[in-house]
Amino acid sequence: MIEIDQAKAVIEANSLCVNIKNNPILKGLNFQVKAGEIYALLGGNGAGKSTTLKTLLGFNAPSSGSVKVDGKEVVKALNLVREKTAYLPESATLYTHLTARENVKYFLSLADIKKSDAEVNQAFDRVALQEKARDRHMQTYSKGMRQKTAIALALLREAPIFLLDEPTSGLDPVAIDEFNQLVRELASGGATILMVTHDVYGACQVADRIGLLRDGELVGEFSAPQNGQIETEQVHAAFAQRGAA
Ligand SMILES: Nc1ncnc2c1ncn2[C@@H]1O[C@H](COP(=O)(O)OP(=O)(O)OP(=O)(O)O)[C@@H](O)[C@H]1O
Ligand 1 centre distance from Cα of residue 19 (Å): 11
| 87, 71 Cβ separation under 8 angstroms | no
DSSP letters, 106-165, are: HHHHHTT----HHHHHHHHHHTT--GGGTTSBGGG--HHHHHHHHHHHHHHHT--EEEEE
pLDDT at 5: 53
Residue 63 CA to residue 66 CA, distance in Å, equals 9
pLDDT at 245: 46
Q: Where are the domains of the chain?
A: 9-91+161-240
For 9-91+161-240, which CATH class?
alpha beta
pLDDT at 4: 47
Ligand 1 centre distance from Cα of residue 55 (Å): 12
Strands of 161-165's sheet in order across:
85-88, 161-165, 192-197, 38-43, 209-214, 217-223
pLDDT at 91: 76
Ligand 1 centre distance from Cα of residue 32 (Å): 22
Ligand 1 centre distance from Cα of residue 79 (Å): 25
ipTM score:
0.95
User: Is the CB–ligand 1 distance for residue 170 below 6 Å?
Assistant: no
Angle of the 173-188 helix axis to the 143-157 helix axis, nearest 10: 10
User: Is the CB–ligand 1 distance for residue 149 below 6 Å?
Assistant: no
Ligand 1 centre distance from Cα of residue 26 (Å): 10
User: Is the CB–ligand 1 distance for residue 51 below 6 Å?
Assistant: yes
Tell me the best of 50, 67, 199 to mutate to test the pocket of ligand 1, counting ligand atoms within 8 Å of each CB and taking the most.
Answer: 50
Residue 129 CA to residue 148 CA, distance in Å, equals 6
List the chain pLDDT tens, one digit each, 245 residues: 444 455 689 999 999 999 999 999 999 999 999 999 999 999 999 999 999 999 999 999 999 999 999 999 999 999 999 899 999 888 777 898 999 999 999 999 998 999 999 999 999 998 889 999 999 999 999 888 888 999 999 899 999 999 999 988 888 888 899 889 999 999 999 999 999 999 999 999 999 999 999 999 999 999 999 889 999 999 999 999 865 44
User: Is the CB–ligand 1 distance for residue 49 below 6 Å?
Assistant: yes
Other Cβ atoms within 10 Å of 35 Cβ, number: 23
Q: Is 48 exposed, middle or buried (0-12, 13-18, 19+ CB in 10 A)?
A: buried
User: Is the CB–ligand 1 distance for residue 46 below 6 Å?
Assistant: yes
